[in-house]
Structure 1
Amino acid sequence: MTIRGDRQKNAPPSRARHRLTAAALLALAACVTACAANPSVDESQSAGVAGNPAALPAVAAVASIAEQVPGKIRTTGVLHVATSATLPPMTYVADDNRTLIGLDIDVAKAVAATMGLRAELTNAGFDTLVPGLQSGRFDMVVSSMGVTAERQRVVDFVDYYNGGQGFLASANTGFAVNDLIDLCGRRVAVTTGSTQQSTLQDSQHICTDAGRPPYQLQAFPDTNGAVLAISGNRVDVMYSSISIVSYTAGQNHAFRVAGRYKRAMVGAALPKGTPLTQAVQQSVQHLIDDGTYKRILDKWTLADNAVQTARVNSARTS
């Protein structure tokens, strides 16, 4: 695997706020209880998401799928894949400040291998990914990109992950959050500049309209601070992406998933109308059927967000 490009600084705010190093994420599992007991601990140095180091088995090429790869790509033996490595545990930069890791990266490499290709990864700004596909710079984008009707007009998508938003709470609690109204009367953590923050700011009226006490919104500079606020009993729940919520709960039993909200399909993006889309769809479906896909999701403790079918262009356009 070859990696090109530097870490980008122009990721959208809602993604950039979740940007964490693997070292920092490892520290959270060890520190979260101690930090809660010792208020003098510097929270800015003690949180994060650590990747499961378990290696995945090699993925073999499937001749019937490889034959469907466009000749130009098949001749080079390289699949040019772009990602915006700002969203652990989906796609981010390892502690060496060079290697790209995450669920998205594992999926991209497995898809390429199934087609008999080598993935060449480029770390790029999120807002450059679709233009890069359209210009021919990239063959495929795997970057936790939501499948929407608007995007589907200019690129093709192959589903590989059931994303969306979620709520993280202490394992010692038992409340459920099925909708925003379930947050009424609770202290809610979000990351500054995130979609979740703006959603809650715009929805303040739902509690008073229902005759319930309002939720208390607390914004933190990053996910680290929000998670530590739960462990320190300074907030009741964190509202974030389902990937971060599921991963944190899976890595540390001090936390649990209190609810899932606004599920949204995530897909690999490809140039509109390319025959490569069919090859990628069959590749993802093959990985689902032979168990490789499950092993990837298990590695990142995200099995609850699996899809069973690799659909093409699944967003409603009507």
Structure 2
Amino acid sequence: MRVRPKKTELCDPPFVVEAEAVVQSLHDALPQAIKDAGVIRFAGDSHPPYRTVAQDGTVTGIDADFQAAIGQVLGVKTQTSVVTGLPAALQGMLSNRYDAFNGPVKATAEREKQFDTITWMTTRTAYVFPTDSTAGITRVEDLCGKRVAVVTASVVEEQLNKLSRFCTQNKRAATQTVGLDDTNGTLLATRSGRADAAGMTEAAAIDVTQKQGGTKYVAQTEAQGATKDDLALYVPKSGLGSEAGVQRGNGALSRGRPLWRIKGGLRGGIPRSPARGARPPRSPRTAGRR
């Protein structure tokens, strides 16, 4: 059955998500277990603005709308189980507790040995700190020697390591990593004084500073070791797999009727046309960063 597409809001304008018609051929390509259950099980940690977890466990944000749109195209429902951090999401998929994890997670050749990856975003790293901080942070270089909270095993932790090398190469003190389970934990660490700043994607930093008063952020530059990272949705090779329709369904959503429009909104993370693989081809329209 074909349903006429209509626009629905994704967060605040100019965020827009398109309602899509079910594509029967994509539904038919899904694994039989998912067709029988009628649902794709996503893992998701607390990671605003991608996923904001309310006290009652309700998940809202970019990720929830993204998943709902995929479900519309594939003709199934989607549900999110809240997990604690990236390792729990990855292991849960390998244990068949979850069918997918939308990340956004860096696509690497190593992880592709166990997962199919669908790159949908590029990002940069930023560091959030309280406006009343006495740590003396006004630029990224001021983080040298400071305690920085990051999500363990995340792309941000990798970028912080590069920043630390920049510090030592310029005869400054290395950064001190405070590894935590999720983005909320990193923000709590800065508020409690356990850390001087919280590392996250720039899109997340913009969201935090706009919605939560009393914070500022600085963004890491290429001169300070930053790189643009391709971030992806993950599915286990033994389960859903991008061959089963998610890759094609995701692509269908991005052609002609984008999942969301971010110009003038969250500048720090720009959705891109989905590309499979750890090293997807660059698009001339790709901009911004996580």
5+ residue gaps, structure 1, are 1-50, 178-182, 230-234
**Letter in structure 1 aligned against 2:44:** S
Question: In the aligned structure 2, how far is the partner of 1:151 from the partner of 1:101?
Answer: 27
Distance 1:309 1:63, change over 3 A: same
Instruction: Give 1:15's aligned residue.
Output: none
2:246 to 280, 284, 288: 280
Instruction: Give 1:180's aligned residue.
Output: none
2:219 to 253, 258, 262: 258
**1:138 to 2:114 alignment:** no
Instruction: Give 1:247's aligned residue.
Output: 207
**1:271 to 2:236 alignment:** yes
Instruction: Give 1:45's aligned residue.
Output: none
Whether the 8 Å contact between 2:23 and 2:74 is mirrored in structure 1 is yes
Distance 1:136 1:61, change over 3 A: farther
Whether the 8 Å contact between 2:123 and 2:268 is mirrored in structure 1 is no
Q: Which has the larger radius of gyration?
A: 1
Instruction: Give 1:105's aligned residue.
Output: 64
Question: In the aligned structure 2, how far is the partner of 1:197 from the partner of 1:266?
Answer: 14
Question: In the aligned structure 2, how far is the partner of 1:225 from the partner of 1:135?
Answer: 31
How far apart are residue 243 of structure 1 and its match? Answer: 3.7
Instruction: Give 1:158's aligned residue.
Output: 118
Question: In the aligned structure 2, how far is the partner of 1:273 from the partner of 1:202?
Answer: 34
**1:289 to 2:255 alignment:** yes
Question: In the aligned structure 1, how far is the partner of 2:249 from the partner of 2:227?
Answer: 27
How far apart are residue 294 of structure 1 and its match? Answer: 1.8
Instruction: Give 1:191's aligned residue.
Output: 149
**1:60 to 2:20 alignment:** yes
Instruction: Give 1:44's aligned residue.
Output: none
Whether the 8 Å contact between 1:111 and 1:284 is mirrored in structure 2 is yes
- 1:206-225 superposed matches below 5 A: 206-207=166-167, 209-210=169-170, 214=173, 222-223=186-187
How far apart are residue 157 of structure 1 and its match? Answer: 0.9
How far apart are residue 123 of structure 1 and its match? Answer: 2.2
Question: In the aligned structure 1, how far is the partner of 2:20 from the partner of 2:165?
Answer: 54
**Letter in structure 1 aligned against 2:83:** A
Distance 1:307 1:167, change over 3 A: same
How far apart are residue 93 of structure 1 and its match? Answer: 1.4
Instruction: Give 1:114's aligned residue.
Output: 73
Question: In the aligned structure 1, how far is the partner of 2:143 from the partner of 2:174?
Answer: 5
Distance 1:281 1:199, change over 3 A: closer
Question: In the aligned structure 1, how far is the partner of 2:191 from the partner of 2:66?
Answer: 27
Runs of 4+ in 1 over 6 A off after TM superposition: 195-199, 215-221
What's the TM-score once normalised by structure 2's chain length? 0.64
Question: In the aligned structure 2, how far is the partner of 1:282 from the partner of 1:194?
Answer: 31
Q: Any idea what SS the aligned residue of 2:234 has?
A: strand
Whether the 8 Å contact between 1:168 and 1:259 is mirrored in structure 2 is no
Instruction: Give 1:306's aligned residue.
Output: 270
Whether the 8 Å contact between 1:189 and 1:217 is mirrored in structure 2 is yes
Cα RMSD of the aligned pairs, angstroms, is: 4.5
Question: In the aligned structure 2, how far is the partner of 1:309 from the partner of 1:240?
Answer: 23
**Letter in structure 1 aligned against 2:149:** T
Whether the 8 Å contact between 1:84 and 1:91 is mirrored in structure 2 is yes
Q: Any idea what SS the aligned residue of 1:144 has?
A: strand
How far apart are residue 268 of structure 1 and its match? Answer: 1.6
1:88 to 30, 35, 48: 48
How far apart are residue 152 of structure 1 and its match? Answer: 0.7
How far apart are residue 156 of structure 1 and its match? Answer: 0.6
How far apart are residue 140 of structure 1 and its match? Answer: 1.9
| Per-residue deviation, residues 252-292 of structure 1 (Å, max 9, x unmatched) | 79846534533322222112166751421122222222444
**Letter in structure 2 aligned against 1:263:** K
Whether the 8 Å contact between 1:161 and 1:266 is mirrored in structure 2 is yes
Higher helix share: 1
Whether the 8 Å contact between 2:11 and 2:62 is mirrored in structure 1 is no
